[in-house]
Structure 1
Amino acid sequence: MGKVTRGNSSQFGMNVPIEISKRGIRKKIAQTDLEIVKKEIREKELDLKIAVMRNYFSVIYAKSVVKILQDREKLFKNMMVISQQRTKNSPNYKLDVLQSQIKYQKQVVFLNKAKANLLVAQFELNNALNIKNSQTMYDTVESSLFANNLSILDLNLLPYQEIEDTAMKYSYSLSIAQDNIQRSEQKITEAKHKRIPDISVGGGYAYQTARQTGGESLPGAYVGVSADIPLLYFYNPEIKKAKITLERSNLNKESFENHLRYALKEDYNKFKYSKENMGYYSSILQESQTILDEHTKRYEKGQSTLLNLLQVETMHQETLRDYIDAIQKYYDAYLDLMHNVGHEILLNTDL
């Protein structure tokens, strides 16, 4: 502009590129990515809560094993003492003494192993808690699974359909899958918008020196507009790739929903039948304890053999193990169900 346009001028200035219909979609993609990250964090937090609860139960289970073996050690020690106090002329005296001593000594070994396993479970619980610079060794309130009125086992579930509906509505994994579909749709839009030409607006100072004009120096200015038109490349591969990603995202979500329904049904039925089995074992355990006490008294009076008492004790030991294993399956089924629900909305974190 000005007289400077009459000749070849020198120029300096600035060009400003202006994107058309591109920044908005990039912002939406970034916002969707942010939402996905937030939900992934919440999902990890839920996994951490469930891991802590699982480790907490493992400590109680380990304590229960220790209690079983402690009671068994006392029984075997009592057997050994009774066998040694019998008259040496009694039938099978030497054999009973040797058997009872071996049983007792082996039981001490088993008990020590159980105590070591309990320490491992306690360390794993504190590792799951992951409290920074903590010098405290956290432990369970419950002494064992044989304690009365255990709140940790007081679990009540909603009807199955309500649980499934809750999972379909609140599951972090499903929500992330839906966000991935939305992101794939946005990526298609982004790829298509690359076809839209961008423009650049420029302007600046233009001048000619006196030497260039052969006389006076000429000041001036310039303005310009340019467009970036994709004549030879229309971004078809990017658009096709984005569409394939969208199809995959939709299939992944549908597949996850189908697998989730099966997993929820499986966990729910495991919980239901494990709870029922736990009740049966509780009744069997009382009867088994009564039988063991009766045989112990008979052995003390010399009315029963050591072999008979050991057989009854072995059956009682199996019943005790079956009982705490039934409780473990019951609690694991609950945690698995809560994990598959995918949201803490139904999780009883007070446990």
Structure 2
Amino acid sequence: MRLILTVICLIFFCLPVKAEVVRVSLDEAVQLTLRNNLDLQAKRKELGIANAEIKIANRLQNPQIQSNILIGQVRTGNSSQVGAMLPIETFKRGVRKKAAIAQKRVIENQIRQYEHELKIRVMKAYFDVLYYKSVQMIMNERKSLFENMVELSKNRSKAQSGYNIELLQSDIRYKKQLIELNRAKADLINAQFNLTKVINESLTEDMYDTKEPSLFSDDLTILDIKLPTYDIIEAVALKYSHSIRIADSNIEKYNQEYILSKHQRIPNIMVGGGFAWQAKYEGEGNWWPGAFVGGGFDLPVLYTFRPEIDKAKVILEKTKMDKASYENKLKLTLKQNYNNFKYSQQNMNYYKEILEESDKILKMSTERYRKGENNLINLLMVENGHQDILNEYLSAMDIYYGVYLDLMHNMGHDVLLEEEIFEE
């Protein structure tokens, strides 16, 4: 009995775990990612580090306990002292804090940029799933077509010339199509795994899939992209690009560091005071009580901090030049993206019309073959041409959506969001 229970337990625990397939829309996939992505959660932790850096930059110097205790005959006529000294930074702490605040703004914009790039990755992964679902759908249709060809070849007259050859050719095409179908299934599973990996939720065994069955769905909306004019796109990019915002924050940060480097020449001071006492001469009691005050300051004579000042100035100038260069190249890149989008959209629409015409030709050729009006070779040529058009149409959709994602990446903004920027 114990052996039977052991075997049952082993079988139970060794059963393969099958992930549940969860179908989500594109918006749901994006929201899941922004809410639960582990990499993004780790990235957001940098804000806590930045807040700590601000407090560190605004720190006060700790006081120092100092003493001067005299021992022996020297204590008569000289005082011993115990007190505290407080170092004070002059015109440095506030500037250092401003630089840390600017660095926090850099991190905030970097997190927003990471969120934006993560959204683009989700959109690309979501599209890839739709793409391979479309490929699998096409492969299934071709499988049915070749299966039908085999049946048509069998039903033709055996006395007809080339009967056996056509039957073998159709059977080979059918079996090769089964191989292509298996490849399409594997590609689809890989795309679903990639979408799940991009979403990157913790403690989940779910496999994410698209709600839409393919790119040929009538209710598909992700390809319905209507861009504003180029002038609006450029204005949005120059105002809302995360890269430009990061550059602005870096300029502010390095400007404060440049000011701080010059303030290093301002002497820091020390003030202090405490209790003092002096031993009396013999026969006059034990000691005379009193107090002392003191002070001091740095004297930047041997080292004037010139290298730090020059370095901070060069970094500031370089950061400004980098921003100007980026803005100049960004305008050219946006124009490229905009033109590529416009022409890829036209090409996709052309392929859609061509595909409809090719589908009609394939149906007519199949019917003619069924009636014995043409041979298998002619039908295969028509089918191959139709397959090429299908692949080119899918490729055109892939290029079209990829160009749109490139435009989103370079803008640093989702141009399809309805915000006040389009009314400015």
**Shared fold by TM > 0.5?**
yes
Q: SS state of the match for residue 15, structure 1?
A: strand
Q: SS state of the match for residue 191, structure 1?
A: helix
State whether structure 2 residue 383 is matched by structure 1 residue 309. Answer: no
The Cα RMSD (Å) is 1.8
What is the letter of the counterpart of residue 81 of structure 1?
A: E
Per-residue CA deviations over 1:119-143 (Å, capped at 9, x if unaligned) read 0000100111112212322211111
Give the equivalent residue in structure 1 for 2:145.
75
For the structure 1 residues 64 and 195, does the alpha-carbon distance in structure 2 shift closer, same or farther, using more than 3 Å as the test?
A: same
Per-residue CA deviations over 1:212-257 (Å, capped at 9, x if unaligned) read 8963322211101111110111111001111111121012111111
| Contact 1:43–1:343 (8 Å) recurs in 2 | no
For the structure 1 residues 248 and 212, does the alpha-carbon distance in structure 2 shift closer, same or farther, using more than 3 Å as the test?
A: farther
Q: SS state of the match for residue 190, structure 1?
A: helix
Match of 2:317 among 233, 247, 263: 247
Residue identity (%): 48
Task: State the shift of 1:208 in Å.
Answer: 2.8
Q: How does 1:99-118 map to 2 (within 5 A)?
A: 99-118=169-188
TM-score of the superposed pair, with normalisation by structure 2? 0.79
Q: SS state of the match for residue 106, structure 1?
A: helix
What is the letter of the counterpart of residue 174 of structure 1?
A: I
Give the equivalent residue in structure 2 for 1:36.
106
Give the equivalent residue in structure 1 for 2:120.
50
- Please, which moves more after superposition, 89-98 or 22-31? 89-98
- Report runs of 4+ in structure 1 exceeding 6 Å deviation: 211-214
Give the equivalent residue in structure 1 for 2:291.
221
Whole-Å separation in 2 of the counterparts to 1:197 and 1:82: 98
Task: State the shift of 1:321 in Å.
Answer: 0.8
Q: SS state of the match for residue 111, structure 2?
A: helix
Give the equivalent residue in structure 2 for 1:164.
234
Q: SS state of the match for residue 168, structure 2?
A: helix
State whether structure 2 residue 240 is matched by structure 1 residue 177. Answer: no
Give the equivalent residue in structure 2 for 1:21.
91
Whole-Å separation in 2 of the counterparts to 1:211 and 1:107: 115
| Contact 2:143–2:174 (8 Å) recurs in 1 | yes
State whether structure 2 residue 409 is matched by structure 1 residue 343. Answer: no
State whether structure 2 residue 340 is matched by structure 1 residue 270. Answer: yes
Whole-Å separation in 2 of the counterparts to 1:211 and 1:114: 105
Give the equivalent residue in structure 2 for 1:187.
257
Whole-Å separation in 1 of the counterparts to 2:402 and 2:286: 93
Whole-Å separation in 1 of the counterparts to 2:413 and 2:309: 35
Which structure 1 residue ranges, 5 or more long, are not aligned? none
Task: State the shift of 1:71 in Å.
Answer: 0.6
For the structure 1 residues 293 and 215, does the alpha-carbon distance in structure 2 shift closer, same or farther, using more than 3 Å as the test?
A: same
Task: State the shift of 1:97 in Å.
Answer: 1.1
Give the equivalent residue in structure 2 for 1:288.
358
- Please, which moves more after superposition, 102-111 or 183-192? 183-192
Per-residue CA deviations over 1:237-296 (Å, capped at 9, x if unaligned) read 001111111121012111111221121111111111111111111111110000000000
Task: Tell which has more relative contact order, 1 or 2 (C-alpha 8 A, sep 6+).
Answer: 1
Give the equivalent residue in structure 2 for 1:98.
168
Q: SS state of the match for residue 195, structure 1?
A: coil
Give the equivalent residue in structure 2 for 1:137.
207
Whole-Å separation in 1 of the counterparts to 2:235 and 2:76: 77
- Please, which moves more after superposition, 181-190 or 170-179? 181-190
State whether structure 2 residue 188 is matched by structure 1 residue 121. Answer: no
What is the letter of the counterpart of residue 154 of structure 2?
A: Q
Whole-Å separation in 2 of the counterparts to 1:126 and 1:112: 21
Whole-Å separation in 2 of the counterparts to 1:255 and 1:69: 48
| Contact 1:338–1:347 (8 Å) recurs in 2 | no
Give the equivalent residue in structure 2 for 1:327.
397
What is the letter of the counterpart of residue 61 of structure 1?
A: Y
| Contact 2:77–2:279 (8 Å) recurs in 1 | no
For the structure 1 residues 122 and 347, does the alpha-carbon distance in structure 2 shift closer, same or farther, using more than 3 Å as the test?
A: farther
Task: State the shift of 1:79 in Å.
Answer: 0.7
Task: State the shift of 1:7 in Å.
Answer: 2.5
Task: State the shift of 1:211 in Å.
Answer: 7.9
For the structure 1 residues 213 and 305, does the alpha-carbon distance in structure 2 shift closer, same or farther, using more than 3 Å as the test?
A: farther
| Contact 2:334–2:410 (8 Å) recurs in 1 | yes
Give the equivalent residue in structure 1 for 2:22.
none
Whole-Å separation in 2 of the counterparts to 1:20 and 1:129: 50
Q: SS state of the match for residue 155, structure 1?
A: coil
Whole-Å separation in 1 of the counterparts to 2:181 and 2:333: 38
Whole-Å separation in 2 of the counterparts to 1:208 and 1:345: 80
Which structure 2 residue ranges, 5 or more long, are not aligned? 1-69, 419-424
| Contact 1:338–1:346 (8 Å) recurs in 2 | no
For the structure 1 residues 307 and 201, does the alpha-carbon distance in structure 2 shift closer, same or farther, using more than 3 Å as the test?
A: same
TM-score of the superposed pair, with normalisation by structure 1? 0.94
For the structure 1 residues 211 and 6, does the alpha-carbon distance in structure 2 shift closer, same or farther, using more than 3 Å as the test?
A: closer
Q: SS state of the match for residue 153, structure 1?
A: coil
What is the letter of the counterpart of residue 250 of structure 2?
A: N
